[in-house]
Amino acid sequence: MATIADLRQLVSETKPEEAAAMTGELLAAGHNAMEVLEEGVMNGLNDVGDRFAAKKAIVLDLVRAGVTAKACIPLIQEAFPKGEGAKIEKKIVLGTMLSQHNIGKNLVSTLLSIGGFEVIDIGEKNSPWDFYETAEKVGADMIAVSVVFAPAMEKFTELLDLLKELKVRDKYPVIVGGAVTSQKWADAQGADGWGAQAKDGVSLARDLLKVA
């Protein structure tokens, strides 16, 4: 019988069709969707990332890893609990800075939406100004940033500085997450919250926006 470790292996080998089929098999067998995501897909992606960092993989492998993850994730998303359907009247602007890595950002978006929040997803490669401008335009309650690429870390700091400069820092709690970030780094930048996992975005939003 298929195991989550087998799925990790297929993702690590960047085999989209086989990985998607195994994801379906694991979910049908009753495996927890979050475990399939974290221990199967994410650990497999991390394996590819580690090989890339060790110069044992090339950019094409990263591309294939992304394609493989994107073949599995919709099946996992369908298996997430649907939430209670209660809508929370809070708007969250979400996006990435510089980077085109959007798999984590998309998961944060899905989980926040399931959690009842209104997500304004501004996509990839945004500047600090894009976040500010959208937040003002839609009357956002919070800003969430996905930082998966080291050069974007500096941009995140620039976003906080911009909000301070424009005297709206207190208006928007800002949370951050992503593979290259950490609690320590987020604290040092003055972020209002950091999450290791997409699901942490929901608990951070509930706490910071005082949702009962």
Residues near ligand B12 (CB under 6 A): 42, 45-46, 48-49, 52-53, 59, 62-63, 65-66, 69, 99-105, 107-108, 144, 146, 148-150, 175-180, 195, 197-198, 200-201
Amino acid identity of 172? Y
Cβ of residue 4: shortest distance to ligand B12, in angstroms? Answer: 15
Residue closer to ligand B12, measured from CB, 10 or 108: 108
Residue closer to ligand B12, measured from CB, 34 or 167: 34
Cβ of residue 65: shortest distance to ligand B12, in angstroms? Answer: 4
Amino acid identity of 67? V
Residue closer to ligand B12, measured from CB, 26 or 121: 121
Cβ of residue 140: shortest distance to ligand B12, in angstroms? Answer: 14
Give the three-state DSSP class for 120: strand
Handedness of CA 173, 171, 111, 116 (dihedral sign): positive
Cβ of residue 127: shortest distance to ligand B12, in angstroms? Answer: 14
Q: Are 181 and 194 in contact (CB under 8 A)?
A: yes
Residue closer to ligand B12, measured from CB, 26 or 64: 64
Residue closer to ligand B12, measured from CB, 125 or 169: 125
Cβ of residue 161: shortest distance to ligand B12, in angstroms? Answer: 19
Closest CA to 24 of 64, 66, 78, 83: 78
- The pair of structure tokens assigned to 39 is 């221990």
Alpha helices in 80-150 (DSSP H): 103-114, 128-138
What letter would DSSP give residue 174? E
Q: Which residues pair with 142 in a beta bridge?
A: 92
